[in-house]
Structure formats: structure tokens, C-alpha cells
């Protein structure tokens, strides 16, 4: 028992050591952190200061300001000006009210003379923006709060200029019901003004005169924004007699012993209220400290401009306070106040003395932000509490997320990504991670995690899971199959066992589980083979033939095989484990004779490009294919071809032309794709397929959406990302249903993990080629965005990217031409006449503006493809709504006429369109 007590004591003393040290000499619940300080000390007020040297972030610097001798103002702690937040965590007692004070004395600590500007937050709540305007003035922020959890966090973030820094952080505990408000569960009080009237010096009153160490500013302090317009006849009065202050907010006696009196019948003041306009807590403190004769009275009213109801109550201090030298504290718990507050106390006509005022206090309500939803993450970080990454403090997502996670932008954010690769994590995968219901990416690779994989059913959005290079054991949970969005599952180099759930293999998934010796794929494709034999002998023969020829290719001279080898080659893990392996393991290998049969000896040519000719073919099972015969110099060697094939075989997306296999025989390399019935977008826009009637605007938007999704997948769904490098309208193919797919990854290269990639040869097509890439040879995904912008311009205009005639003199380029028109507001000048009037001008503008952003000269100025996709989808919605309105009102002549004039007009008529939709909402007051 005693030992357990000792243990408890030790735990407590470890956590509270900095916070409650030497509480004997001062009030309990006082914490005074000397930020950047080096030692404990007691100041002249008797407050015990402790250094913040337990903080693992930030640097400390000494400063020196003339006339500022207080030790806590000779140092600062400052933090990098980055996108992170830097937090202090303090222990508090729940259900207790506190004052927290942060102060900032810049003192040119960085020898930079740039006045810093940054934000301070209290937990998840934005507290204030600290904007230094003078190197020698101390900025002070105070907040009164009811503690609802055992710790609080104060964080600095969002450096707009200079580095965030802090001089002191002070926590003061209140007693009983001091500062109780009806709103304290949802609002903090941000201190705006706390004024001691009639003060006998400019020095503020604070500890030990105020047991809670509030700072009561002197009304005689000459502060630019403070207390002007003082009425004539205002006099100071004071007393040495004790004042009974033990009620309400317990103002310090010293403050109550002084006051001002309006000897002419009025007290007037004007002051600036920091943080207002807004709703505030405003109280006045009165104590009768003058001797009134029995026949004398002091009665007065408060007068606020525009607030007549405030002026109704009459103050009679002695009567209200039940005697002399006692506090009376009237005020408003919720009052709307302006930034510049002018107020007046005026005596009533039957009062013999003028008004008296000892003190006043105004606090602004600051709405509390309840913070992110995923509180369970706290259970994860306590497991690793000694690791730096687990000590970042504050809310996981607000005001900015911890450096190792990402959050969505909901009002109450949820965690979407966890990046804890190579952090030396041990033990099981924390089960609380599986409670993060919005989790999309989980990176725990390169740790020493043990135990089995948890059930991730609680995270239905999970798309990417990295658990490779750990020591995980046990079987794969079958629930993995039910994650609808799973795209990548990296499990290699663990000690997992059992079989891979067959449902996983059927998914469109990057799955790697090599290096798990006891983990196997069920040999299910052999069964598959049997089924095929049962159903179609012809196809099976073809399949076997291919397998055999692929094995021959693989084995080289060793031209024999046995049944086991076939089975091995059928049950290999996928995707293939190394780029050095023969491509046969991942991609289907066609023999030359298959291809020759399918294409009838390359009879029907359906296209050609810089790297090969494309032929139509039909397999024996009836499947139509497109065979790309690569020109012999397309690939430097077999190795490069293999890489390409492996890459292709890994890419699966509804909006990417499906890769079916390859053939490499007799020095010829061929790639086999699904056949797309409706040809290229190019042909539909201005090629042979238009015949004077083209695809309409909404169809064009849908094609753009399809293509955008395909590109988005290349950029964000593949790891590492893939840059297409040769996007153009002839590489966007249309299927039977006119859905678009992006084709031709012949030039695609693996992009190195987000970083730009230097390649030796600039490749691409004139008219679509990113000028920045052309000059710098730095290839990024933004080069694709440029090309996509050109395609959008083609969709709007029906013009080719490059033309010698169509763009007028001195202009051969669609970008230059469209830019000129769009920027001068003349969108009509570029819209394809074949679209007639069947489009909504708003959706047209949306796409035109986005297209221009895509073709900005510099990559960093261009949006991401996902961004572009969003606008395309918005445009589609606009277009569908307009189409519905058009149909729904087809009998309404007046609307039709508005609409047709709209389509002929330009910008001004966009406003008419707004009017129209407004009209619609009036007619149908539905949910919005
Ligand atoms: C300050 O005082 C506390 C307890 O009184 C002690 O644990 C700590 O080491 C001291 N810090 C320094 C820097 O002296
Ligand atoms: C600093 O102190 C000196 C002498 O103590 C005084 O003359 C001067 O006015 C003070 N300056 C400020 C800014 O307080
Ligand atoms: C950062 O501060 C700037 C200027 O004070 C402000 O405009 C911006 O919204 C802030 N950003 C965040 C994330 O709070
Ligand atoms: C706080 O309250 C306790 C009990 O009511 C009282 O003994 C103590 O003096 C109070 N402290 C202050 C500073 O008023
Ligand atoms: C992981 O642990 C090893 C050895 O204990 C250490 O050298 C390495 O710095 C640690 N890495 C991290 C990221 O903490
Ligand atoms: C699978 O993981 C292994 C081991 O890390 C790696 O060598 C191989 O390249 C990976 N395979 C794929 C297709 O990413």
C-alpha cells in the first residue's frame, strides 16, 4: 500500500514538477513559466518562476531592453516560422476557473528588426493574433476559462512575418465562483480592459495585492488608446480603511480603496476595447469610500450610447452594498459593445453627490472550438509519450495538424492521414487507429511493430495502407476485402502467414506481400483455367500456348518445362516483386502468331504516333484489341521494355485504356490494349467524325471529367506518381458509350516520389508541351496539367492546339489566342460555333478560367488535376441544372426568351442568369 502511494506520488511529482513547484510561497494553482529561461527564481512580487526547459522545440535567446530588469523578460523562446504549431501543455484541475496570461516582448531577439506576427491558440480555439509593433512593448493576452480537462495547451502557429516567440506563460487559479458565467461551457472570456480608477500611481495593481494576480491597469497610465474624454471636475479619492471585497469577483482591496468622482455630476470616458465589437462581460466595481453626511446621497446611472435599457437602473452604492467600504458589483453578463466605447455615469436629479467609480472590467466572449473529432488519437500517443512526434501537443488538427498527420476541413475535423514511417514504433498496431473513421492513408512502414494486423472495418475510407518492413505476424484479416476504397496494400517483409483472401486478389489493388515466407496466394488461377477449358476450348488453347511461349522466353536456352513450372508461373504473387524479373510474371504475354492471327497480319491500321503504329485486332474469343507495334527505337532495350510493361500492368482505372498484355518476339515489341470503338476526342472535335454536328457541351464536360479522373489516378493514385507526358486530344479515346479513357502511357515515366524529375530528352507534342518543362527539362505533374488545359481550350473552341490559319495573324497557338479573348471578357469569340446556344455561360466561364490557370507559364501557378476536376464537376452540375430548368419551363415563353438572349450575350447576361436562378429559389423554397 505504502509503495503504491509512493509510486503515485512519484508519478504526480514528475508531471507536476514544473507546474506547481514551491507552491508554498504563493497561491496554489499558480504556474509562471519563464520562456527561454535557464533557472528557477522568485521575483520581487514573490512569484516563483520556472524555466520552460522541458520543451523539446524552439530555441532560447537572451534579450536586453533598457529599463526592463525583470528576469523573465531577459529571455524569449522562439520557434521556426513553418507550418507547424508549437505548444505548451499545462496541468490544471477540472471544473476550476483559471486566468491564463501569455506575454510577448520582442526585444529584437533575432537581430532582424522585423516585427513578428503569428497566432496563439488555446487548445483548438484561435485565441489571438500577436502582432508586434514595437520592440520594447510587452504584448499581453489574457483568457479566463473553466477547465474541462486535466491539461490545457497553448500553441503558437501561423507565422505571417518573423518567428513566433513567447516571453512568459502564466496560469492563475481562481477561487469558488469567481468569473462564473452562464456561457462558460461554450465561451472563454478574453480580457479586454481591467481598469483601476483613481490609482495613486501608473503602476498596475497585481499580486500580492490581487491574490489571483490579475493586472489592474492604472487609469493614469498614458496609453494612447486608453481613457480619453475625461469630464471636467473628475477627482481622485482614496481611503486607507479596509474594504470588504469578499464577494463576486473579489476585486483587490487596493483597487477598491481608490476611485474617481464626478464632482460636476458626470464621469465620462472613452476607451478602445481590444477584440471588440462583439458580445462581452462588462462589470463595474463600486465601494463608497467617501464620508457622506446623513442628508447626502450618491445616486447615478450608467449611460451608453444607443443602449437605453442600460440606463434604467440607478446605482446607490451604499444602499446596494449594504454599507460603507463594501463592494457592489453591478454589470452585464452579455452586452453588445463597440470597439470604441464611450460611457458616462450621470447623477440623478435627486442626488447630492456626483457619481463614483472604483474599477471596471470588460471581457469579450471567445467562442470555444470543440476541436477535432478523433479524440482517440490521444490513446495512441500516450503509448509513445517519450517520442518527439508524440509531444507536439494541442489539438491533433487545429489550428494546424500535427506534423505527422493530415485532417479534413470539416468544422470539426477528422484525421485522414497518418504518416509514422520509420519511427521505431514497437508493440502492436494501436487498435485505436482503427477507430479513425475518416482515415484514408495509414503509413506505419519501417517500424518494429509486432502482433497481427487489426481489423480496419472501422475505417471504410482507407485507400492506402503501408505496413511493410515490420514484424507483423498472423493471418490477413478477411475484412480487408470489404474496404471499398482500398487501392494500395503494402505488406512486404513481415512475418505474416496463411493465405491471401481471394477477394483481395480480385480487387483493383496494388498489393505487395513479398518477403512473408508463410503467406501464400491460394492457387486459384489453376481452377480458373479449368473453368475456361470447360467453357471454351479455343480460348484455353490460346492461353496455354501463351504461357508456354512466355516460359520459353523467360528460360532462354533452357527450353523445357514441366507442370510445376507452369503452376508456379500461374500462382506468382502480384504485382511482381522486382523490375529485374521478367515481365511475364505480371503481364499477359501474347505470341507473335496470336497477334498475327488477331490482326489478320496487321491488316487494319487504326492510328499511328511517334512511337508506333496501332492495328485493330480481334482475339479468338471475340475480344477486340488494339495492338501498338513499337518502332524499333522506341525502347533502348529489353530492360526498358520490361519496365514499361510492368508499369502498364499495374495501372488499372476506369478512365485509363486497359492494358491487356504484350508481345516481344523477333525483335519486335508490341503492346496490346482494349479496343476503343469511338476513336479519339480529336476526331470528334475537328476531325472526320464531326460532319458539321459535334458532341454537345455537356458531353464534352463529361469527357473532360473522365479524362481528368484518369489523370488524377496517375498523379495521385499510383505510388510513385506517374506523369503522362503526352496528353493530347488524340490520346483521349472514347468507348462505345462515349465515355473517355486516357491512352498511351508509352511515354510515361515513373516520377520520383513527388520530387521533380530530370529527364534527358524532352518528349511531348507541340502545342501541348509545357513551356516550363521544355526550358528546364524538369518534369512534374504540372506539365500534364498544362496539356490538360490545352485540351480544355480545344473542348471550348473546337480548334486544334496549333493552327496556321485559325488564330489570326501572328498567332499559331490556341493558348495565346484563347487567353487574349478570355482575358478581355470575350468568351463568345472562342466558343465552338458547333455548340450553337446549347450551353450555360456560367459553366463555360468556369472551364475557360480554369483552362487559363492550367496553362500558366509556371507549374507552381497551375492548379492540381484534382482541383481542375472539381471545377469540371461543378460545371457539369450547372449544366444539368440549366438543362432541367430548360426542360421544366419549356412552355414558359418569357423564360425561354431570357435564356436565348443570355446565350448570345456575354458577361452582363451572366447576371440575368443569376436573377433567373434566384427567381427559381423563390418559387421553390426548398432546402439549401
Ligand atoms: C526548478 O525547481 C524544480 C523543483 O523545485 C526542480 O525540479 C528543477 O530542476 C529546477 N530547475 C532548474 C533549472 O533549476
Ligand atoms: C528609462 O530609465 C531612465 C532612467 O532610469 C529614464 O530617464 C527613462 O525615461 C526611462 N525610459 C523609459 C522608456 O521608461
Ligand atoms: C494566418 O495569418 C494570416 C494573417 O494574419 C491569416 O490571413 C490566415 O488566415 C492565417 N492562417 C491560418 C491557417 O490561420
Ligand atoms: C479561496 O476560498 C477559500 C475557501 O472559501 C478561502 O479560504 C480562501 O481564502 C480563498 N482564497 C482567496 C484568495 O480568496
Ligand atoms: C531508432 O532507434 C535507433 C536505435 O535505438 C536509433 O539509432 C534511431 O535514431 C531511432 N530512430 C528514430 C527515428 O527515433
Ligand atoms: C514489393 O516489395 C519488394 C520488397 O520491398 C520490392 O523489392 C518490390 O519491388 C515490390 N514490388 C512491387 C511491384 O512494388
Grid look-up 465515355 returns 739
Q: Say whether 606 sits in a helix, a strand or coil.
A: strand
**Phi and psi torsions of 727, nearest 5°:** -75, 135
Tell me, what's the pLDDT at 884?
A: 78
Q: Say whether 539 sits in a helix, a strand or coil.
A: helix
- Contact present, 773 and 808 (Cβ < 8 Å): no
Handedness of CA 207, 210, 211, 215 (dihedral sign): negative
Which of 158, 159, 161 to mutate to test ligand 3, by most ligand atoms within 8 A of the CB atom? 158
> From the CA of 68, which ligand is nearest?
2
Tell me, what's the pLDDT at 139?
A: 95
**Phi and psi torsions of 609, nearest 5°:** -145, -175
- What DSSP assignment string belongs to 263-286? TTSEEEEEEE-TT-SEEEEEEEEB
Q: Which helix (H) or strand (E) element contains residue 192?
A: strand 187-196
Percentages (nearest 5) of helix, strand, coil residues in the chain: 30, 25, 45
Which of 493, 516, 578, 582 to mutate to test ligand 6, by most ligand atoms within 8 A of the CB atom? 578
Mean pLDDT is lowest, of 87-91, 349-353, 365-369, 631-635, for 631-635
**Phi and psi torsions of 607, nearest 5°:** 175, 165
For the segment 465-486, the average pLDDT, to the nearest whole number, is 95
Nearest 5°: CA angle at 535, between 532 and 538? 75
- Contact present, 257 and 238 (Cβ < 8 Å): yes
Please state the separation of Cα 303 from the chain's center in Å: 47
> From the CA of 137, which ligand is nearest?
2
Verify cis geometry, omega within 30 degrees of 0, for the bond prior to 902.
no
How far is 380 from 390, CA to CA, in rounded Å? 9
- Pick 402 or 683 by higher pLDDT: 402
- What DSSP assignment string belongs to 64-99? --TT---GGGSEEEE--SSS--EEEEEE--TT-EEE
Beta-carbon contacts of 272 under 8 Å, excluding residues fewer than 6 positions away, are 225, 226, 339, 340, 341
How far is 587 from 498, CA to CA, in rounded Å? 25
How far is 84 from 105, CA to CA, in rounded Å? 22
* Length of the chain, in residues: 928
Grid look-up 465562483 returns 177
Grid look-up 516483386 returns 577
Q: Find out whether the beta carbon of 67 lies less than 6 Å from any atom of ligand 6.
A: no
Task: Return mean pLDDT, the chain.
Answer: 82
Q: Find out whether the beta carbon of 222 lies less than 6 Å from any atom of ligand 2.
A: no
For residue 209, pLDDT beyond 90? yes
Nearest CA among 658, 648, 794 for reference residue 739: 658
Q: Which helix (H) or strand (E) element contains residue 886?
A: helix 865-888
* Residue 58 pLDDT class (50, 70, 90 cuts): very high
For the segment 88-113, the average pLDDT, to the nearest whole number, is 95
Tell me, what's the pLDDT at 767?
A: 87
Instruction: Name the residue with the closest Cα to ligand 1, atom 4.
Output: 21
Residue 72 CA to ligand 1 center (angstroms) comes to: 16
How far is 415 from 392, CA to CA, in rounded Å? 15
Task: Count CA atoms closer than 13 A to 363's CA, side-chain side.
Answer: 25
Categorise residue 762: left if φ over 0, alpha if ψ from -120 to 50, beta otherwise. Answer: beta
Tell me, what's the pLDDT at 772?
A: 85
Residue 211 CA to ligand 4 center (angstroms) comes to: 9
Q: Does 628 belong to an annotated binding site? A: yes
Instruction: Name the residue with the closest Cα to ligand 5, atom 6.
Output: 424
Tell me, what's the pLDDT at 638?
A: 63
Mean pLDDT is lowest, of 22-26, 475-479, 729-733, for 22-26
Nearest 5°: CA angle at 216, between 211 and 222? 155
- Contact present, 650 and 718 (Cβ < 8 Å): yes
Handedness of CA 525, 527, 531, 533 (dihedral sign): positive
Task: Quick: pLDDT tens for 745-774.
Answer: 655 543 333 333 444 456 678 888 888 888
Tell me, what's the pLDDT at 435?
A: 95
Q: Which three cell numbers stand for residue 113?
A: 528588426
Handedness of CA 558, 561, 567, 570 (dihedral sign): positive
How far is 449 from 838, CA to CA, in rounded Å? 59
Q: Which three cell numbers stand for residue 306?
A: 444607443
Catalytic status, residue 726: yes
How far is 396 from 828, CA to CA, in rounded Å? 49
Q: Find out whether the beta carbon of 420 lies less than 6 Å from any atom of ligand 5.
A: no
Amino acid at each position: 500500500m505504502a509503495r503504491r502511494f509512493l509510486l503515485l506520488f512519484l508519478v504526480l511529482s514528475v508531471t507536476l514538477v514544473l507546474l506547481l513547484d514551491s507552491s508554498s510561497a504563493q497561491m496554489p494553482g499558480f504556474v509562471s513559466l519563464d520562456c527561454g529561461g535557464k533557472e528557477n527564481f522568485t521575483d520581487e512580487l514573490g512569484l516563483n518562476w520556472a524555466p520552460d526547459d522541458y520543451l523539446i522545440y524552439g530555441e532560447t535567446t537572451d534579450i536586453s531592453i533598457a529599463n526592463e530588469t525583470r528576469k523573465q523578460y531577459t529571455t524569449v523562446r522562439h520557434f521556426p516560422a513553418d507550418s507547424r504549431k508549437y505548444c505548451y501543455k499545462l496541468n490544471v484541475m477540472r471544473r476550476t476557473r483559471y486566468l491564463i496570461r501569455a506575454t510577448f516582448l520582442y526585444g529584437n531577439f533575432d537581430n532582424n528588426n522585423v516585427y513578428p506576427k503569428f497566432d496563439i491558440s488555446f487548445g483548438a480555439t484561435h485565441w489571438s493574433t500577436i502582432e508586434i509593433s514595437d520592440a520594447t512593448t510587452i504584448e499581453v493576452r489574457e483568457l479566463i476559462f473553466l477547465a474541462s480537462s486535466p491539461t490545457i495547451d497553448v500553441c503558437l502557429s501561423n507565422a505571417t512575418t518573423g518567428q513566433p516567440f513567447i516571453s512568459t506563460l502564466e496560469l492563475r487559479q481562481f477561487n469558488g465562483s469567481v468569473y462564473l458565467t452562464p456561457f462558460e461551457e461554450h465561451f472563454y472570456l478574453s480580457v479586454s480592459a481591467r481598469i483601476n480608477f483613481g490609482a495613486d500611481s501608473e503602476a498596475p495593481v497585481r499580486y500580492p495585492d490581487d491574490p489571483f494576480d490579475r493586472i489592474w491597469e492604472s487609469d493614469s497610465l498614458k496609453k494612447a488608446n486608453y481613457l480619453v474624454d475625461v469630464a471636467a471636475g473628475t477627482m481622485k479619492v482614496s481611503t486607507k480603511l479596509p474594504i470588504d471585497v469578499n464577494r463576486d469577483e473579489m476585486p483587490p482591496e487596493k483597487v477598491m480603496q481608490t476611485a474617481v468622482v464626478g464632482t460636476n455630476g458626470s464621469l465620462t470616458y472613452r476607451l478602445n476595447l481590444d477584440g471588440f465589437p462583439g458580445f462581452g462581460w462588462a462589470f463595474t466595481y463600486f465601494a463608497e469610500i467617501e464620508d457622506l453626511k446623513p442628508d447626502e446621497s450618491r445616486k447615478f446611472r450608467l449611460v451608453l450610447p444607443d443602449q437605453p435599457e442600460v440606463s434604467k437602473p440607478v446605482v446607490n452604492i451604499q444602499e446596494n452594498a449594504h454599507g460603507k467600504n463594501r463592494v457592489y458589483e453591478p454589470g452585464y453578463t452579455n452586452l453588445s459593445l463597440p470597439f470604441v466605447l464611450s460611457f458616462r455615469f450621470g447623477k440623478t436629479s435627486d442626488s447630492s453627490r456626483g457619481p463614483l467609480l472604483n474599477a471596471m472590467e470588460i471581457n469579450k466572449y471567445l467562442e470555444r472550438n470543440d476541436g477535432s473529432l478523433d479524440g482517440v488519437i490521444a490513446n495512441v500517443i500516450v503509448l509513445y509519450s517519450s517520442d518527439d512526434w508524440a509531444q507536439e501537443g494541442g489539438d491533433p488538427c487545429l489550428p494546424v495538424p500535427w506534423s505527422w498527420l493530415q485532417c479534413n476541413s470539416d468544422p470539426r475535423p477528422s484525421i485522414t492521414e497518418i504518416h509514422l514511417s520509420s519511427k521505431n514504433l514497437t508493440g502492436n498496431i494501436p487498435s485505436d487507429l482503427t477507430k479513425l473513421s475518416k482515415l484514408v492513408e495509414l503509413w506505419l512502414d519501417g517500424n518494429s511493430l509486432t502482433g497481427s494486423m487489426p481489423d480496419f472495418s472501422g475505417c471504410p475510407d482507407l485507400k492506402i495502407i503501408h505496413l511493410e518492413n515490420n514484424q507483423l505476424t498472423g493471418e490477413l484479416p478477411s475484412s480487408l476485402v470489404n474496404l471499398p476504397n482500398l487501392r494500395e496494400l503494402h505488406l512486404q517483409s513481415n512475418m505474416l502467414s496463411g493465405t491471401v483472401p481471394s477477394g483481395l486478389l480480385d480487387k483493383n489493388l496494388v498489393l505487395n506481400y513479398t518477403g512473408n515466407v508463410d503467406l501464400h496466394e491460394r492457387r486459384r488461377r489453376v481452377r480458373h483455367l479449368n473453368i475456361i477449358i470447360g467453357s471454351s476450348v479455343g480460348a484455353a488453347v490460346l492461353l496455354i500456348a501463351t504461357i508456354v511461349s512466355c516460359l520459353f522466353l523467360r528460360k532462354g536456352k533452357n527450353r523445357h518445362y514441366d507442370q510445376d513450372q507452369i503452376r508456379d508461373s500461374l500462382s506468382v504473387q502480384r504485382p511482381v516483386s522486382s523490375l529485374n524479373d521478367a515481365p511475364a510474371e505480371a503481364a499477359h504475354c501474347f505470341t507473335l502468331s496470336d497477334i498475327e492471327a488477331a490482326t489478320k497480319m496487321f491488316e487494319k491500321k487504326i492510328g499511328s504516333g511517334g512511337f508506333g503504329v496501332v492495328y485493330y485486332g480481334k482475339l479468338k474469343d471475340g475480344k477486340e484489341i488494339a495492338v501498338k507495334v513499337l518502332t524499333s527505337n522506341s525502347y533502348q532495350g529489353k530492360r526498358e521494355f520490361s519496365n514499361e510493361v510492368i508499369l502498364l500492368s499495374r495501372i488499372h482505372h476506369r478512365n485509363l485504356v486497359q492494358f491487356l498484355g504484350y508481345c516481344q518476339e523477333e525483335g519486335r515489341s508490341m503492346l496490346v490494349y482494349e479496343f476503343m470503338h469511338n476513336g479519339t476526342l480529336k476526331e470528334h472535335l475537328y476531325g472526320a467524325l464531326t460532319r458539321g454536328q459535334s458532341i454537345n457541351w455537356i458531353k464534352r464536360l463529361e469527357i473532360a471529367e473522365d479524362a481528368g479522373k484518369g489523370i488524377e489516378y496517375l498523379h495521385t493514385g499510383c505510388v510513385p506518381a506517374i506523369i503522362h507526358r503526352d496528353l493530347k486530344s488524340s490520346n483521349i479515346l472514347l468507348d462505345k458509350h462515349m465515355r473517355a479513357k486516357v491512352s498511351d502511357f508509352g511515354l510515361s515515366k515513373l516520377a520520383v516520389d513527388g520530387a521533380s524529375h530530370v529527364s534527358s530528352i524532352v518528349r511531348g507534342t507541340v502545342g501541348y508541351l509545357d513551356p516550363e518543362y521544355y526550358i528546364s527539362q524538369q518534369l512534374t505533374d504540372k506539365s500534364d496539367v498544362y496539356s490538360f488545359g490545352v485540351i480544355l481550350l480545344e473542348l471550348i473552341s473546337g480548334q486544334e492546339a496549333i493552327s496556321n490559319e485559325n488564330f489570326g495573324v501572328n498567332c499559331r497557338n490556341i493558348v495565346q489566342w484563347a487567353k487574349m479573348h478570355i482575358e478581355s471578357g470575350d468568351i463568345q469569340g472562342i466558343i465552338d460555333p458547333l455548340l450553337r446556344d446549347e450551353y450555360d455561360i456560367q459553366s463555360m466561364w468556369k472551364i475557360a478560367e480554369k483552362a487559363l490557370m492550367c496553362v500558366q507559364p509556371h507549374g507552381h501557378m497551375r492548379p492540381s488535376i484534382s482541383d481542375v476536376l472539381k471545377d469540371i464537376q461543378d460545371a457539369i452540375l450547372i449544366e444539368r441544372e440549366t438543362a432541367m430548368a430548360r426542360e421544366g419551363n419549356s412552355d414558359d415563353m418569357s423564360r425561354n426568351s431570357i435564356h436565348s438572349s443570355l446565350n448570345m450575350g456575354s458577361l452582363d447576361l451572366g447576371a440575368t442568369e443569376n436573377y433567373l436562378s434566384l427567381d427559381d429559389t423563390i418559387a421553390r423554397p426548398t432546402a439549401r
